[in-house]
């Protein structure tokens, strides 16, 4: 029988030794829990995008007034419903003419800055025609096409309605060239009272973010303390405290806000109190569940054995170990608070005039949605971006703070 055993040399032994040694080497440096959280969070592109959106919204709320010379409450009824981008007609090198949807004539300088609304020298309502004198030139505005287009739409002839021009403009009998320019006076346009939309969006950002942050702070203080005490004490105390939570959570928020407004009157103070006194319920439930789980661990038993007080166990052991759940819950509830405040303001139960939040801006824009869609688009876009940013951030924190996902 042939001997097939292989002769083992010194090189074979050294090769096996060094292979086993390399397999036992640490392939990456050891990371602490929070270092690993940061590493995993930075790999989440959507979470980074959400963080950038939130930072930009905060910067917009804080420094947005540097972009405009107007304020949020000043009204100029001669500058109503002017969009951010204008279809202007060139009269000369330094003057442009703009006709708004109400067929009023405005003059602009060459860069697109509004000067004034021009008053008509003569108006023929039968022929739907206005005559102006601008810089010594005769300007004729005929808006009879709007009536023809409206009649065609009523008759169902959409082809004719779309082909008819709403108005025609002639300067000394000649049709000027039309060009699109940005509104340099009101960068995001004006509303139905001639108020600057940019200034009102900045103020609305301050109101919406302030309400959300205060409601979240109240949620943290009340919910963490309440849920922590209920979970740590357990037994009958836990049952009584959680039944109170059930009662609070069954009260409809809208009804609660209405009752508060009857007692305290409408305003930001009422909204903050309403959200702050209701939004802690979910946090209390989350913290209670975490504390019930953590208090069964060995390190809590060891702390009790050496005589640590209940307050020390709560603050030094239970709450810190539940912090990941607390952070995620807070982050996910901030967009909910923003949306709730916007909804309450939208239906007229929030901020009262002349103050404005994103919800009131959206509500005010409903009447002119067809003619001035930018007035609804701008606050709605702000709400969507902010809510989306906090949702992305909350999802990223949830994934990063979960130790089970550590690789």
pLDDT digits (tens, 9 = 90+) for 270-326: 888 888 788 788 888 888 888 888 888 888 788 888 887 878 888 788 887 787 788
| Phi, psi values for residue 160, rounded to 5° | -70, -40
pLDDT score at 6: 52
Mean pLDDT calculated for residue range 191-198? 90
pLDDT score at 314: 81
- Which residue blocks in 130-223 are alpha helix, DSSP H? 144-155, 158-163, 197-218
More confident residue, 334 or 33: 334
Question: With bands split at pLDDT 50, 70 and 90, how would you rate the model's confidence at 351?
Answer: confident
pLDDT score at 2: 47
pLDDT score at 1: 44
pLDDT score at 59: 93
Mean pLDDT calculated for residue range 64-83? 87
Mean pLDDT calculated for residue range 106-134? 87
Per-residue pLDDT tens digits for 4-55: 445 566 555 555 554 554 455 455 566 676 777 788 888 889 989 999 999 9
Mean pLDDT calculated for residue range 56-73? 88
Q: Do the beta carbons of residue 107 and residue 134 sit within 8 Å?
A: yes
How many residues belong to the chain?
A: 407
Mean pLDDT calculated for residue range 122-132? 86
Provide the b/e sequence for 201-238 (b: ≥16 CB within 10 Å): bbbbbbbbbbbbebbbebbbebbbbbbbbbbbeeeeeb
Comparing 50-54, 57-61, 365-369, 403-407, the range with the smallest average pLDDT is: 403-407
Tell me how far apart the alpha carbons of residues 161 and 307 are, in angstroms, rounded to a whole number: 85
pLDDT score at 286: 87
More confident residue, 148 or 9: 148
Mean predicted lDDT score pLDDT of the chain: 82
Percent of the chain residues topping a pLDDT of 90: 11
Mean pLDDT calculated for residue range 100-115? 87
Q: Would you call 165 helix, strand, or coil by DSSP?
A: coil
Smallest CA-to-CA distance from 141 within 100, 95, 201, 182 is with 100
Distance of CA 382 to the CA centre of its chain: 5
Q: Do the beta carbons of residue 230 and residue 93 sit within 8 Å?
A: no
């Amino acid at each position: 029988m042939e001997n097939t055993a292989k002769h083992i040399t010194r090189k074979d032994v050294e090769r096996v030794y060094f292979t086993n040694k390399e397999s036992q080497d640490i392939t990456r440096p050891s990371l602490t829990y929070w270092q690993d959280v940061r590493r995993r969070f930075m790999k989440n592109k959507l979470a980074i995008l959400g963080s950038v959106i939130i930072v930009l919204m905060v910067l917009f709320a804080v420094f947005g007034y540097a972009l405009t010379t107007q304020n949020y409450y000043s009204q100029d009824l001669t500058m109503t419903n002017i969009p951010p981008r204008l279809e202007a007609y060139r009269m000369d090198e330094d003057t442009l003419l703009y006709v708004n949807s109400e067929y009023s004539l405005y003059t602009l300088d060459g860069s697109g800055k509004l000067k004034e609304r021009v008053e008509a020298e003569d108006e023929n309502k039968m022929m739907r025609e206005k005559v102006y004198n601008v810089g010594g030139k005769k300007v004729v505005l005929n808006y009879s096409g709007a009536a023809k287009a409206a009649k065609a739409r009523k008759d169902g002839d959409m082809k004719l309605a779309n082909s008819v021009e709403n108005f025609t403009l002639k300067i000394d009998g000649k049709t000027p060239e039309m060009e699109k320019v940005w509104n340099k006076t009101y960068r995001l346009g004006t509303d139905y009272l001639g108020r600057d939309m940019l200034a009102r969006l900045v103020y609305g950002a301050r109101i919406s973010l302030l309400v959300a942050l205060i409601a979240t702070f109240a949620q943290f203080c009340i919910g963490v303390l309440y849920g922590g005490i209920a979970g740590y004490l357990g037994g009958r105390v836990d049952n009584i405290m959680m039944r109170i939570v059930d009662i609070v959570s069954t009260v409809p928020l809208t009804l609660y806000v209405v009752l508060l407004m009857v007692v305290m009157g409408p305003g930001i103070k009422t909204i903050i109190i309403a959200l702050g006194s209701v939004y802690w319920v979910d946090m209390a439930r989350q913290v209670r569940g975490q504390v019930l789980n953590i208090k069964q661990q060995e390190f809590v038993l060891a702390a009790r054995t050496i005589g640590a007080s209940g307050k020390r166990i709560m603050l030094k052991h239970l709450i810190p170990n539940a912090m990941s759940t607390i952070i995620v819950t807070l982050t996910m509830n901030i967009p909910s608070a923003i949306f709730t405040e916007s909804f309450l303001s939208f239906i007229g139960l929030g901020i009262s005039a002349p103050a404005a939040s994103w919800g009131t801006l959206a509500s005010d824009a409903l009447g002119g949605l067809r003619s001035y869609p930018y007035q609804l688009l701008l606050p709605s876009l702000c709400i969507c971006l902010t809510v989306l940013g906090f949702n992305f951030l909350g999802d990223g924190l949830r994934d990063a703070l979960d130790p089970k996902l550590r690789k």
